Structure 1
Amino acid sequence: MSAGQLHSLEELDQFVSQAGKRLLFKHSTICPISTTAHEEFLSFLQEQDVPAAVILVREDRPVSNEVAERYSIKHESPQIFLLEDGQVKWHTSHWKITKAAIAEAIQG
C-alpha cells in the first residue's frame, strides 16, 4: 500500500476521521534524517496493508501545523503518528522512526 499526500485541512479531516489504525507521516523533503525515516516508512508499507498518508511540512505547512495543534503534540520533522479511530495511540520522530518501531506500534 502506498501513502497519499494530504494537501488541505479537509483531506486531513477525511483521513483521520476514518475508523481503524492509520499512519500519518510528516516529511521534510530537504532533511536527510527525514529522507531516511521516509524510506523506513515506505519499506514498512510495502509489507503491511495499513492506510497511510504523508504531509510535506514545507509545502503544506497549514496541514502540518493543524496536526500539532489538534493533538497537542509538538511539531517535529520527520514525525510519525499511529492513529486509531481518530486518536493518537503512538508517535515518534527522527531516528526513532524505523520499520521495526512502526511494526511494533501497529501490533501493540
Structure 2
Amino acid sequence: MQWKNITDLTQISQIQNQKGYSLIFKHSTRCSVSSMAKRRFEMDWDSIPENTSLYFLDLISYRDLSAQIAETFQVHHESPQILLIKDGDCILDASHSDISAVEVAEMINT
C-alpha cells in the first residue's frame, strides 16, 4: 500500500464524493508523537483491505487543507489524526495513541 499525498482542495472534494472507504492521515512533520503514530499505523496497515484509498496530509505544509478537511467532514482538528471516510461521511475519527490500523480494518470489515 502507498500513501497518496493531499496537496490541493480538489482532492478533498474527490474524497468526499468517492464511493467506498478512504482514510486520511493528518501528520505533523514537527511532532515526535505524530511520527510515532504514523510508524505504528504503517507497521499494521497490511490489515487494511487493499481497496481502501490511503491519503496523507502534511499539515505543516498544508495547514489550510487541514482546516478544510475538518470542516468538510465535521470533525475537530487534531494532530496526528486519522479519519475513515465511507461514501463521503466520516465514520471514525481518532488521534494520538488511539490511531490504530487494526481498528480501521475492523470498521471496514464489519
TM-score, shorter chain, exceeding 0.5: yes
Tell me which residue corresponds to 1:20.
20
Q: Does 1:106 align with 2:91?
A: no
Tell me which residue corresponds to 1:30.
30
Which of 59, 70, 77 does residue 68 from structure 1 map onto? Answer: 70
Local SS of the residue matching 1:76: coil
For structure 1, list consecutive stretches of 5 or more residues without a partner in the other structure: none
Q: String of CA shifts for 1:21-49, please: whole Å, max 9, x gaps.
A: 11111001111111111113323333431
Which residue type is aligned with residue 44 of structure 1? D
Identity %: 31
**Which deviates more from structure 2 when the two are superposed, residues 13-22 or residues 81-90?**
13-22
Local SS of the residue matching 2:75: coil
What is the distance in 2 between the residues matched to 1:45 and 1:2?
10
Off by >4 Å, runs of 4+ in structure 1? none
Judged with a 3 Å threshold, the aligned counterparts in structure 2 of structure 1 residues 47 and 107 are, in CA distance, closer, same or farther, namely closer
Shift of the alpha carbon at 1:68?
Answer: 1.0
Aligned residues: 108
For structure 2, list consecutive stretches of 5 or more residues without a partner in the other structure: none
Conserved in 2, the CA contact under 8 Å of 1:44 and 1:103? no
